[in-house]
Structure 1
Amino acid sequence: MSSSTFPLLTIARLSAIFVASLVLIWARVFKTSFIPRSPSSNDTLIFAVLHPLLMVIGFIILSGEAILVHRWLPGSRNVKKTVHLGMQGVALGCGILGIWTKFHGEDGVVANFYSLHSWMGLVSISLFGIEWVMGFMSFWHRGEMRRVSRRMLPWHVFIGLYTYGLSVATAETGLLEKLTFMQTYRNVPRRGSESILVNGLGLGLAFLAGIVIFAALSPKHHQLSIRPLKPIYSNDKY
């Protein structure tokens, strides 16, 4: 790990802890805000609270840490790829489960796809799943698949970072949608403690995304190799 990367990783993890803490406080202290207008059972509240926990902590934060695996994990390239693939697989599972909890006890899957947040979430989880499957195939297959994966690596990096950024943007739209609902139907003060917490969570997610993407794209100074310059004059000629 280079000295220039270490502060970025530290800031990224501190930001992740800050975001996770705000989500946990929101779900624990203000859990009544997650109660539907017509709750059918106590399980509805549990699944409603699980949705932001799984999507923010399990999906966004964990996938962000997986993106930075190649920055902080020592060992061979195969070890790093294995840990990266495993962490992304867990993040994908949390994302799928988080989406399922949103539909539990509601009017069904189709009825819930009515907002920009829901459609962006569908695109994010679909791209994430495709990326993971392609990564899994390239990791376990040799020969031609390996050569294809090397040529596709720039696209893999681009789509991966794009999907991560889209996931954070999806979470931001979800926070805005939730905050608008609370202020409209539950009379939550605009300058109240819960409104400040949700806005702080949105800012924290935006900052976290910027740090993760910047750390992922920053040059790896410890891996740069300087080739010696070829002499202009050769003793064989002169």
Structure 2
Amino acid sequence: MGSNCYCYCYTYGHNFYYLVIFVLAALLAYKTVPGTKKLKKLVHLALHFLTMLLSLTGLWAVWKFHDERKIDHLYTLHSWLGLSCIIFFSLQWATGFWTFWYPGGSRSGRAFLLPWHVFFGVFIYVLAIATSVTGLLEKSIFMQSAKMIGRFSTEAILMNSLGMLLVLLSTLVILAIVSPGTSRIDTYRGSSE
């Protein structure tokens, strides 16, 4: 069972799909969750924390899978992007927690850091998409090299379609983030929470 679990995590994209799905929900929390700004902030923080835990679990599973199969670590662009993504994501979460939640920075400090927090949040999301797409490409190349799938097989078309859908999804998410909404109006009016 253990080895199959690692193989499953590795074969089906492992940790970066957590970043793509849960971060999508967390990034849009301010625009989609009804209620107070404090509730929206809590949902945003909690979804990101869950994402971090799942991503670290996925990273551990991949590392264990590579060790069991005697596969080298960190030799592909996908692995470098993925490790960078997890490191940046963890730093972003810790900074956001410290500045915007507990103990919380000063009002001017939060106001200064907010645009950078949003920018790096979007950057990390795009990095997660790039990692996912390069993971699909890497898997496709490995499977074609091993003659497991053909060039225009159903699996290859499915992986390419999934990659294109990820790019489209990220475009729509970024558009939703940068488009003006009620939460931005509240922020501009000087809402304290």
Give the TM bin, normalised by the shorter chain.
0.7 to 0.9
**Greater mean alpha carbon deviation, residues 57-66 or residues 211-220:** 57-66
Aligned counterpart, 1:58:
18
Give % identity: 34
- Report the TM-score, using the length of structure 1 for normalisation: 0.71
Aligned counterpart, 2:66:
106
The separation in 2 between residues aligned to 1:135 and 1:81, in whole angstroms, is 10
Aligned counterpart, 2:50:
90
Aligned counterpart, 2:3:
44
State the structure with more CA Rg.
1
Q: Secondary structure at the match of 2:72?
A: helix
CA contact (8 A) 2:26 2:47 kept: yes
User: Structure 2: any 5+ residue segments left out of the alignment?
Assistant: none
CA contact (8 A) 1:54 1:97 kept: no
CA contact (8 A) 1:189 1:195 kept: yes
CA contact (8 A) 2:18 2:54 kept: yes
Deviation at 1:107, TM superposition (A): 2.9
Deviation at 1:65, TM superposition (A): 1.0
Relative contact order (alpha carbons < 8 A, sep ≥ 6): 1 or 2 greater? Answer: 1
**Is 1:184 matched up with 2:145?**
yes
Q: Aligned in 2, Cα 1:143/1:107: closer, same or farther, shift over 3 Å?
A: closer
**Is 1:119 matched up with 2:101?**
no
CA contact (8 A) 1:67 1:216 kept: yes
**Is 1:159 matched up with 2:120?**
yes
State the Cα deviation string for residues 78-136 of structure 1 (Å, max 9, x = none).
11111100000101111111111111142389931111111111111111000100111
Q: Aligned in 2, Cα 1:159/1:191: closer, same or farther, shift over 3 Å?
A: same
Matched residue pairs, number?
184
CA contact (8 A) 2:31 2:182 kept: no
User: 137, 140, 150: which one pairs with 2:102?
Assistant: 140
Whichever residue aligns with residue 188 of structure 1, its letter is: I
Q: Aligned in 2, Cα 1:45/1:141: closer, same or farther, shift over 3 Å?
A: same
Q: Secondary structure at the match of 1:219?
A: coil
Aligned counterpart, 1:208:
169
Structure 1: 4+ residue segments shifted above 6 A: none
- Report the TM-score, using the length of structure 2 for normalisation: 0.86
Deviation at 1:59, TM superposition (A): 2.1
Q: Secondary structure at the match of 1:111?
A: coil
Aligned counterpart, 1:78:
38
Whichever residue aligns with residue 67 of structure 1, its letter is: L
Deviation at 1:76, TM superposition (A): 1.1
Whichever residue aligns with residue 141 of structure 1, its letter is: P
The separation in 2 between residues aligned to 1:179 and 1:198, in whole angstroms, is 7
The separation in 2 between residues aligned to 1:197 and 1:190, in whole angstroms, is 12
Whichever residue aligns with residue 133 of structure 1, its letter is: A
CA contact (8 A) 1:69 1:84 kept: yes
RMSD of aligned C-alpha atoms?
A: 2.3
CA contact (8 A) 2:98 2:104 kept: no
Deviation at 1:222, TM superposition (A): 7.8
Deviation at 1:149, TM superposition (A): 2.0
User: Structure 1: any 5+ residue segments left out of the alignment?
Assistant: 1-41, 228-238
